[in-house]
Amino acid sequence: MSAMFLAGRQSSDLPAAAIVAGCALIFTVASFWWLNARQGRLTSYEPHSFAAVANETSTQLRLPLVIYNTGAKPIVVQNLQLRFPDEPDTALRLLWVTTRRYLKPDSGDGHAFAAAFPVGGREAKQLFVEFRAPFPDFVPQARDYKVSVEAKVGHHDDWRHLLTFTWQAAHMVDPGSYITYRNTADDLTTDDVAKSDAALKRLAAKAAAARAS
């Protein structure tokens, strides 16, 4: 009788042991996938400074970007662009033309043409990216712009959103010179806005004349 009871108890314990073993296997496989094979996405962070120039050749905007890969697998960035989603001309783009060593433009800041690059799994990559639109396609105004940074990545056909931030273009008090500015509102004076507005309006008038000719 006791032998039959023991045999029945052992047989009833087998399914429980199998369930525990199965759960352990699932946990192991899921952990391996999460740590080593999960496809993540790219994110970035609001820049607090920028370099810019606007003249009768082009408008150039250089941004300090940190791009972070949330997943385990590397992601290849094939292209970058700036878009202005709130502007009437929603097709307006500033294209990635070069990557530099520093934010401040000078003769020794390096010059690397736009080229694909990888972002390793759970890694962050800092880049000083230069975007450009030819004159007279885009002349900024002395105001805030909502700007979206987008990336074309190797495992997707469409553009992927990295971040949206406010570009304080009114800081461009000397738009004809390629210099750095803070991208904050707290140190923007009314005199700065007036100076930037006057200079950019003069350039906008030249752009309008060029488009009309």
In terms of domains, do 113 and 181 share one?
yes
In terms of domains, do 119 and 20 share one?
no
- Note the pLDDT of residue 37: 54
- Note the pLDDT of residue 208: 94
Cα–Cα nearest to 71, from 29, 109, 36, 96 = 36
User: Phi/psi of residue 115, each to 5°?
Assistant: -150, 150
In terms of domains, do 26 and 63 share one?
no
- Note the pLDDT of residue 33: 47
- Tally the domains of the chain: 2
| Domain ranges, residue 32 | 1-37
- Note the pLDDT of residue 27: 56
Cis peptide before 136 (omega within 30 of 0): yes
**CATH number for the domain including 149?**
2.60.40.1890
In terms of domains, do 152 and 115 share one?
yes
In terms of domains, do 23 and 57 share one?
no
3-state helix vs strand vs coil in the chain, percent to 5: 30, 35, 35
- Give 10-residue mean pLDDT values along the chain (213 residues): 50 64 58 62 98 98 98 97 90 95 94 97 98 96 98 95 98 98 94 98 96 88
In terms of domains, do 87 and 28 share one?
no
Say if pTM beats, i.e. exceeds, 0.85: no
**Cα 198 to Cα 170: distance, rounded to the nearest angstrom:** 11
In terms of domains, do 103 and 203 share one?
yes
pLDDT digits (tens, 9 = 90+) for 162-193: 999 999 999 999 999 999 999 999 999 999 99
In terms of domains, do 30 and 111 share one?
no
In terms of domains, do 21 and 122 share one?
no
In terms of domains, do 75 and 29 share one?
no
In terms of domains, do 84 and 30 share one?
no
- Note the pLDDT of residue 20: 65
In terms of domains, do 7 and 77 share one?
no
